[in-house]
Chain A
Amino acid sequence: MNKTMRVVLMGVLAVSMAACATKKKDAPPPPPEPVRETPVTPAAPDDGKYSAEDLNSDSCLRQRVVYFDFDQADIRSDAAAILACHGKYLSDLSGAKMTLEGHADERGSREYNMGLGERRGNAVSSALQANGGSSAQITVNSYGEERPTCAESDETCWGKNRRVEIVYTQAQ
């Protein structure tokens, strides 16, 4: 599989997972934006800045999951675009806030994985700050291996569970 293909697939996966996560979510904070039909072509903001509406419509901002390699917290190159657009969003909307939920796969001990999830959250936080976000906009919360998205013991599933989920708590 070539790299472009992989990036595209990861993107599709990320979008579908983000969509799932939003749907399932029933606890506060409520989604800040009312659901509505968006134009087929997301209009680029006139001043080059994001607006709160873009969270639900922009194809990059809709990707809310960053994936990691085993026992690693290094940001992979396939996450660069996501981190750039969310960093820019934080920079454009200074009132926006997010929680970075760090996760690990099931291998290894639970409390160590709690630390690993936090390390991944911190890595995403740093990358977002390098892209214009500020530390005051970001909270890191590690769930370790306690909140897997899939339960099979194989690399495909582990790869999905080693992640940081971007959860906006305030859109603007």
Chain B
Amino acid sequence: MPKTMISSVRACCVMLLLLLGSTSLLAQGLVVPPVSGSPTARPITIVPFGYEGAGLPLETDIAAVVTGDLNRSGQFNALGRDNIIEYPVRASDLRFDTWRMLKQDYIVIGRVLDSNEGAVRIEFELYDVGTRKRLFGLALPARRADLRAASHQIADYVYEKITGIRGAFWTRMAYVTSTGLGKNTQYALMVADSDGYNPQVVVRSGEPLLSPAWSPDSKKLAYVSFERGSSSIYLQELTTGSRQILASYRGINGAPAFSPDGTRIALTLSQTGNPEIYIMDLATRRTTQITKHYSIDTEAIWTPDGQNLIFTSDRAGKPQLYQVSAAGGEPTRLSSKGEYNARATISGDGKKIAMAQGAGNVYRIAVLDRSRGGADYTMLSPGNLDESPSFAPNGSMVLYAAREGQRGVLYAVSADGRVRQRLVLADGDVREPAWSPFRQR
């Protein structure tokens, strides 16, 4: 074979490898369809931002990202692109009568300028169409590669200025994927933006991975891995990938959950013969047993004040939610309705607790509002096998896992249940979504 041919064959192989590599990476990404806003929510227009620099056109449609975020929250109904008839990018272009005619309450306009060393500066403004007042304006520096992150931050500002509640779009989610069946299953723990974009592999394994939990600074994940043959709890730094084993006792090592101050982790161990809740001090690695009962006690989460744990126990026969002091003591039953309540998630203000609620073969996500006397349940999902709810850090949305046909899919639903977005994997199952805490601006 002539040398040139060999090298071209080699080049071809390299190309093929690159292609294979990229498709396997793509296969990990979530398919994210656009979502329409709730028709009864606040009408808002996000005008496409103008690029006024001299470089290549921007790869990210900032207004489209902001529109998607606001629609998904259930709080806004953003005007569709087809109905946007004028394209103001600064105040002097803005004709309020046009937007009043289109029955818009708010409008966001913006422009992108070149900045130093290939970076850009995004200037945007939010106006109240009715009063013609400027509610907010900001210039955000951003790298061209980080325009989606900048867009989510813009959505956060808009959301906060209008609703009075901090936005949670510039956050991330962790989730677990699996492909294959039985002993040939491949698992991956992933992290993506809150809208499902930019998926990144945290860890891959031929053995089960489950129960990802964020540290309060959102820089680390604790999770369960079977890669040593049985369950162990790992703690991994996301930027460096460095990790350590937190717990690998005999039996189950499961359900890690960081305390709100990040100094302790609640976890489930069955070293005594059945699953009990423990708290591990992260500095000393010493564990303290919190529950002591022959039933299954697991899935502890912390109340936002760090004083109590809410966990799942079948001490009354079927799984129900209980609350216990983080200092130990006698647990009290928390869930009062439904034959099966498990896997709690709590809103940042501590008022709402979402759970997987089962009746017969139907499992749905229920939200208990404790500020309304303790027995006020709202169903957030239609079923049949919905599980693993996770509140956004501002309590405005819930991520959960569902089963469709033979596939696991994720849903992002507004806390009022009005807007629901489905996130699916191109190939395989996706499950156990965990919404990250807020990031530092």
Which A residues are within 8 Å of any B CB, using their own CB?
21, 24-25, 71, 106-112, 114-116, 118-119, 122, 140-144, 146-153
* Contact between A149 and B388, CB atoms less than 8 A apart: no
Q: How far is the CB of A122 from chain B (nearest CB, A)?
A: 7
* Contact between A111 and B299, CB atoms less than 8 A apart: yes
> Is B69's CB within 8 Å of the partner chain A?
no
Q: How far is the CB of A20 from chain B (nearest CB, A)?
A: 8
Give B297's nearest chain A residue, CB to CB: A115
- Map CB proximity to A onto B302-329 as digits: 1 under 8 Å, 0 otherwise: 0000000000101000110000000000
* Contact between A147 and B299, CB atoms less than 8 A apart: no
* Contact between B299 and A150, CB atoms less than 8 A apart: no
**What chain B residues lie within 8 Å of A149 (beta carbons)?**
181-182
**What chain B residues lie within 8 Å of A25 (beta carbons)?**
183
> Is B170's CB within 8 Å of the partner chain A?
no
Interface-centre pick from A106, A107, A147 (highest chain B CB count, 10 A): A107
CA distance A140 to B319 in the complex (A): 22
* Contact between A118 and B211, CB atoms less than 8 A apart: no
* Contact between A115 and B298, CB atoms less than 8 A apart: yes
> Is B254's CB within 8 Å of the partner chain A?
yes
Question: Which of A110, A112, A118 is within 8 Å of B319, CB to CB?
Answer: A112
**What chain A residues lie within 8 Å of B314 (beta carbons)?**
112
**What chain B residues lie within 8 Å of A118 (beta carbons)?**
251-252, 270, 274-275
> Is B343's CB within 8 Å of the partner chain A?
yes
**What chain A residues lie within 8 Å of B185 (beta carbons)?**
147
* Contact between B388 and A110, CB atoms less than 8 A apart: yes
CA distance A119 to B294 in the complex (A): 11
**What chain A residues lie within 8 Å of B181 (beta carbons)?**
148-151
In the complex, chain B residues 224-240 whose Cβ is within 8 Å of any chain A Cβ = 226, 229-231
**What chain A residues lie within 8 Å of B230 (beta carbons)?**
141
* Contact between A115 and B342, CB atoms less than 8 A apart: no
> Is B390's CB within 8 Å of the partner chain A?
no
Chain A binder among B154-162, B356-364, B409-417: B356-364
> Is B112's CB within 8 Å of the partner chain A?
no
CA distance A112 to B355 in the complex (A): 13
* Contact between A109 and B210, CB atoms less than 8 A apart: no
**What chain B residues lie within 8 Å of A71 (beta carbons)?**
318
Give B405's nearest chain A residue, CB to CB: A153
CA distance A114 to B211 in the complex (A): 11
CA distance A33 to B254 in the complex (A): 35
Give A149's nearest chain B residue, CB to CB: B182
Question: Which of B183, B255, B273 is within 8 Å of A111, CB to CB?
Answer: B255
CA distance A140 to B274 in the complex (A): 12
Question: Which of B231, B385, B403 is within 8 Å of A114, CB to CB?
Answer: B231
> Is B208's CB within 8 Å of the partner chain A?
yes
* Contact between A111 and B298, CB atoms less than 8 A apart: yes
Give B317's nearest chain A residue, CB to CB: A71
Sorting the interface of chain B by its residue count into under 10, 10 to 19, 20 to 34 or 35 or more gives 35 or more
> Is B268's CB within 8 Å of the partner chain A?
yes
* Contact between B358 and A108, CB atoms less than 8 A apart: yes
Interface-centre pick from A111, A116, A119, A152 (highest chain B CB count, 10 A): A111
> Is B384's CB within 8 Å of the partner chain A?
yes
> Is B195's CB within 8 Å of the partner chain A?
no
Given contacts A25-B183, A115-B268, A116-B296, 9 further A-B pairs with CB under 8 A are A108-B363, A110-B432, A111-B210, A111-B268, A111-B343, A112-B299, A114-B254, A143-B226, A147-B182
* Contact between A114 and B318, CB atoms less than 8 A apart: no
Q: How far is the CB of B79 from chain A (nearest CB, A)?
A: 40
**What chain A residues lie within 8 Å of B358 (beta carbons)?**
107-108
In the complex, chain B residues 129-169 whose Cβ is within 8 Å of any chain A Cβ = none
Give B342's nearest chain A residue, CB to CB: A109
Shortest Cβ-Cβ A-B pairs, 9 listed? A115-B296, A146-B208, A109-B342, A109-B343, A115-B275, A151-B406, A111-B255, A111-B298, A111-B299
CA distance A119 to B273 in the complex (A): 9
Q: How far is the CB of A164 from chain B (nearest CB, A)?
A: 15
7 contacts between A and B (CB under 8 A): A24-B183, A108-B319, A111-B255, A112-B298, A115-B268, A115-B270, A118-B252
* Contact between B312 and A153, CB atoms less than 8 A apart: no
* Contact between A143 and B406, CB atoms less than 8 A apart: no
Question: Which of B231, B340, B384, B432 is within 8 Å of A108, CB to CB?
Answer: B340
Interface-centre pick from A21, A112, A149 (highest chain B CB count, 10 A): A112
Question: Which of B229, B254, B356, B432 is within 8 Å of A141, CB to CB?
Answer: B229
Give A155's nearest chain B residue, CB to CB: B361
Give B318's nearest chain A residue, CB to CB: A71
**What chain A residues lie within 8 Å of B182 (beta carbons)?**
21, 24, 147-149
* Contact between A115 and B184, CB atoms less than 8 A apart: no
**What chain A residues lie within 8 Å of B298 (beta carbons)?**
111-112, 114-115
Q: How far is the CB of B324 from chain A (nearest CB, A)?
A: 16
Question: Which of A106, A114, A143 is within 8 Å of B275, CB to CB?
Answer: A114
